[in-house]
Structure 1
Amino acid sequence: MSSQAHSIVMLRRNFTHIGRNPTSVFNAVLMPIVIMLMFVYMFGKAFSVGVDYIDYATPGLMLLAVCYGLGSTATAVNSDMTKGIINRFKAMDVSRGAVLTGHVIATVLTNLVAIAALTGVAFALGFSPSASALDWLGVLGMIVLLGFAAGWFTVALGLFAKSPETAGLAAVPLVMLPFFSSAIVPADKMGPGLREFAEYQPFTPIIETLRGLLNGAPSGRDAITAIAWCVLIAAIGYLWARSTFNKRA
């Protein structure tokens, strides 16, 4: 069986596990929607962002939807390592790369489902983007690239952790990082120190790229920076994951 076929088998296995774990489904799909409802209805009128708050917040919440599913990915990867599943796969001559790739692809597809649900709720709340069909393709591409990068980095975290519990905790900083970006409020409205951190951290240019695309006015500078960050994070995650996997397996 080819490596590609092995990856498809691993992907089906991962989706079966996700379907049997309601907590992971809630975290990945429903929790971002809960946060959207909370910010739009509870805090939306407290923020002065120059546009309807739902239009401002939706791009940042899309990124948050990507991050909220990462904890279950890290836990699943670590469980495979610590519970002897990898050794069984080795005995079955399953490609090592397929095990990791299956987790990453499952993460990306779960992200797309979560963001589709989130976008549907955003439209119900009055979201009115000015994006053209080409802009929407750009949004999709940015989300896939982000999910791919975050997926590999999370797989690396899961492999590096000593137990499933610590693997889940290791992904928490990735979940919190969007709150210290331009996702909820513009960076220039933050205090000194936090403002500079928000401006130069990886998620802000990604959010601003999504925001520009959805507004029909994408920024080439933000897009280049966002793509560069995603490629860097993906490369670090991939190399770290393969190195750790080879040592532990």
Structure 2
Amino acid sequence: MNNESLKSSVWVAQLIFIQRSIRHSIRNTDAMIMAIALPILLMLLFTYVFGGAIDPSGNYVTYVVPGTILLCAGFGSSSVAVDVAQDMTNGIIDRFRTMSVRSLDVINGHVVASVLRNLLATTLVIGVALLIGFRTEASFLQWLGAIGIITLFIFTFTWLFAAIGMMASGPSAAGGYGFVLLFLPYLSSAFVPTNTMPGWLRGIADHQPITPITETIRSLLNDSPLHTNGWWSLGWCGGLLLVAFVLSAWSFQRKSGRR
């Protein structure tokens, strides 16, 4: 087989695994609906129940939308941990090893399908936010920057959940371990400024990845200065991606018997 045919077969295999993951998502409608509905419900809760106390001016929806977008992405990505753990424990990886495809492509399929699902969910969240009063002064380039950061965040956290799924002993354990990451937005500036928190908690909130990523999206959408948040966002995402890739490769080789 020449190089062009080999490359073509690799891309075909990737598309097949992506389609497989998307079909699984469509069949699991309950999980997909919850991944979209829960962040929207939380945004409505914070805006209409707590928003008046947090920001009496009525502009709290503008503040809370960036954090809600990241929360939505986190919930949407978390299912990858369970899906990957299922594939790693039900013997399908061993079956793929007997075929002329790369077994790791099945993990890539989960990741790409999850990113596509999350971008769709993010679009729906932004649409609901606009309906309830969210307004932005962002230019076209700033919108592109915000979408780029959101996509990078989704890609990063999807790979983190994939790594958790590969390291976990089974789907139930993967779901439990992955749930820890979903608490990060609540310990950040996603819903309230960090300067309103106790000193010890503010130290945690200011030095975890969600805060600079939230502030970067918020600054881009509100046409305000980025300061160093943009660089911190890229650094956090790059570092976490590297960790996820290393853990995924190590765990995949260990569980698939490739040493």
**1:68 maps onto 2:75 in alignment:** yes
Contact 2:77 2:118 (8 Å CA) reproduced: no
20-29 or 104-113, which deviates more: 20-29
> For structure 1, which runs of at least 5 residues remain unmatched after alignment?
none
Runs (5+) with no aligned partner, structure 2 = 1-7
Helix, strand or coil: the match of 2:45?
Answer: helix
Question: 1:74 and 1:15 mapped to 2: Cα distance?
Answer: 15
CA distance in 1, matches of 2:143, 2:36: 20
Shift of 1:49: 8.3
**Aligned equivalent of 1:119:** 126
CA deviation after TM superposition for structure 1 residue 247, in Å: 1.0
Over 3 Å off, 4+ runs? 48-51
Larger gyration radius, structure 1 or structure 2: 2
Residue 92 of structure 1: how far off its partner (Å): 2.0
Tell me the distance in 2 between the aligned counterparts of 1:121 and 1:142. Answer: 20
The answer as to whether partners of 2:72 and 2:122 remain within 8 angstroms in 1 is yes
For normalisation by structure 1, the TM-score amounts to 0.96
* 2:248 matches 1:241: yes
Alpha-carbon contact 1:30-1:114 (below 8 Å) kept: no
User: Structure 1 counterpart of 2:37, which letter?
Assistant: L
Give the aligned CA root-mean-square deviation in angstroms. Answer: 1.4
Q: In the TM superposition, what are the counterparts of 1:15-164 in structure 2 within 5 Å?
A: 15-48=22-55, 52-164=59-171
- The letter for the 1-side match of 2:208 is Q
| 1:57 partner amino acid | V
Partner Cα separation in structure 2 for residue 106 and residue 36 of structure 1: 25
SS in 1 for 2:191: coil
Quick check: 152-161 or 25-34, which moved more?
25-34
Q: Matched residue of 2:199: which SS?
A: coil
CA deviation after TM superposition for structure 1 residue 218, in Å = 4.2
How many residue pairs match? The answer is 249
Task: Confirm or deny: 8 A CA contact 2:76 2:114 kept in the other structure.
Answer: yes
Residues 49/237 of structure 1: CA separation in 2 closer, same or farther (3 Å cut): farther
Structure 1 residue 217: Cα displacement: 2.1
- Contact 1:107/1:151 (<8 A) preserved: yes
